[in-house]
């Protein structure tokens, strides 16, 4: 069983690495060739700074960082990959070489707080198991860095409040990794609803799931739950941004488990309804045992839908009047560029901590409804 303690122990191995990563001590041991390479890397970082770009440090080098965020940062215009935080020396070496990251911009979980002394890094992107989001967001804010935190923002509303307060106290911005707010097809769903192109909304259907998962996502201490906070949160978000409203109450039911031992701590699937103002009902479903990706809105004079809706790419849309034809984008690149621009222009981010807090509140209400079998009102 992977626990929060064992996760930290695993990623924080290596006494020598702990004492040396992210510091200038290695410079004294390097050959002139190595020192020259370090100087070249720092020169590259300085050039990015001169262009007005903000430096981002990724905290946690798992699959999402490796396959989505790092490649996206090679396409961004307002920010760049400036540093990394990992407890695995092998990963540090791999990323250092691949992305030309200076040794002084490489940290582990014990040297993390010294990031406050590094002017190369403006933004910390927290990409860790859900239970660790609050701790590292607060630590990043105290280190004087702006923060992007992956969804779900945290496990509890109280943690969300701590994160928001820490960033406000530090005078730093907090954004949640809601990439679909920058994706053209999902934005078109918002536009069609706002303009009432097909009349008033009557019903929303949102489904998101995948056939299989692994690792800490089935450990309740680290994840906070099963598919609901992982992929079901996209359904919650989709209903919120499509309707432009907040749910009043929820009902929920856990689905059957094909592998009861594997899913002994968390749900394998669930269905839930969200009651929206004006009588609109949102029918939602999420699963770790079934592939699905749908966002459908039914209105007085027609429908509009995305299928698939929530992936990193490949969205397809259709309405009563025909198929949607919109540009393909790198969602993560647009998301990070927008946050960097928000910081430099001193404007609000469209995906702030308060938005993440609301989702956590809704998730907890859904779990209460699933557990009790009762209708649960969303607290104000």
Which residue has tokens 């739950």?
225
Q: How is the beta sheet containing 54-59 ordered, strand by strand?
A: 106-107, 79-85, 54-59, 123-126, 146-149, 174-176
Confidence of residue 16 (pLDDT cuts 50, 70, 90): very low
Angle at the Cα of 146 from the Cα atoms of 55 and 98, rounded to 5 degrees: 30
What pLDDT was estimated at residue 30? 57
Phi, psi of 99 (to 5 degrees): -110, 10
* pTM: predicted TM-score of the whole model, two decimal places: 0.90
Please write the tens of the pLDDT for every residue from 223-258: 999 999 999 999 999 999 999 999 999 999 999 999
Phi, psi of 139 (to 5 degrees): -65, -40
What pLDDT was estimated at residue 21? 44
Higher pLDDT, 213 or 41: 213
Average pLDDT, rounded, for the chain: 92
CB 284 within 8 A of CB 274: yes
> 19-23, 122-126, 349-353: which range is least confident on average?
19-23
CB 13 within 8 A of CB 88: yes
Question: Would you give the distance in Å from CA 360 to the centre of its chain?
Answer: 13
Residues that are catalytic: 151, 234
Query: Quick one: average pLDDT of 289-298?
Result: 98
What pLDDT was estimated at residue 41? 67
What pLDDT was estimated at residue 45? 74
Which residue has tokens 């920058």?
182
> 34-43, 128-137, 183-192, 350-359: which range is least confident on average?
34-43
What the block records as the tokens of 19 is: 């004492």
Q: In whole angstroms, give the CA distance from residue 371 to residue 369.
A: 5
Is residue 24 over pLDDT 80? no
Please write the tens of the pLDDT for every residue from 25-79: 445 445 666 676 777 767 777 777 758 999 999 999 999 999 999 999 999 999 9
Query: Quick one: average pLDDT of 339-360?
Result: 98
CB 148 within 8 A of CB 336: yes
Which residue has tokens 């960082």?
65
What percent of the chain clears pLDDT 90, i.e. is strictly above it?
A: 86
């Amino acid at each position: 069983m992977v626990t929060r303690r064992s996760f930290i122990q695993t990623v924080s191995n290596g006494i020598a690495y702990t004492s040396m990563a992210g510091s200038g001590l290695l410079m004294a041991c390097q050959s002139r060739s190595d020192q020259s390479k370090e100087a070249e890397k720092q020169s590259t970082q300085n050039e990015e700074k001169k262009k007005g770009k903000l430096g981002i440090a990724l905290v946690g080098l798992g699959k999402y960082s490796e396959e989505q965020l790092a490649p996206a940062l090679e396409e961004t215009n307002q920010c760049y990959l400036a540093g990394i935080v990992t407890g695995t020396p092998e990963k540090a070496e791999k990323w250092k070489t691949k992305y030309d990251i200076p040794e002084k911009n490489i940290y582990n979980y014990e040297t993390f707080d010294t990031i406050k002394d590094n002017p190369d890094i403006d933004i910390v992107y927290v990409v860790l198991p859900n239970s660790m989001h609050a701790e590292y967001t607060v630590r990043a804010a105290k280190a004087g860095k702006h923060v992007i935190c992956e969804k779900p923002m945290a496990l509890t509303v109280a943690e969300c409040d701590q994160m928001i307060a820490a960033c406000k106290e530090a005078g730093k911005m907090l954004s949640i990794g809601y990439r679909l707010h920058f994706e053209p097809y999902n934005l078109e769903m918002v536009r069609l609803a706002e303009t009432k192109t097909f009349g008033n909304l009557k019903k929303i259907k949102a489904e998101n799931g995948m056939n299989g998962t692994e690792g800490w996502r089935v450990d309740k201490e680290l994840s906070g739950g099963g598919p609901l906070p992982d992929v079901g949160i996209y359904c919650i978000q989709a209903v919120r941004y499509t309707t432009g409203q907040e749910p009043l109450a929820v009902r929920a039911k856990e689905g059957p488990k094909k592998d009861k031992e594997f899913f002994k701590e968390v749900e394998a699937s669930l269905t839930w309804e969200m009651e929206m103002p004006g009588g609109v009902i949102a029918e939602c479903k999420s699963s770790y045992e079934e592939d699905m990706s749908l966002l459908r809105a039914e209105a007085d004079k027609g429908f509009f839908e995305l299928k698939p809706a929530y992936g990193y790419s490949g969205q397809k849309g259709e309405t009563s009047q025909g198929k949607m034809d919109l540009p393909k984008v790198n969602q993560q690149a647009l998301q990070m560029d927008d946050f960097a621009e928000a910081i430099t222009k001193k404007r609000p981010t469209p995906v702030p901590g308060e938005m993440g807090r609301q989702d956590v509140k809704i998730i907890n209400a859904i779990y209460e409804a699933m557990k009790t079998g009762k209708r649960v009102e969303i607290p104000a």
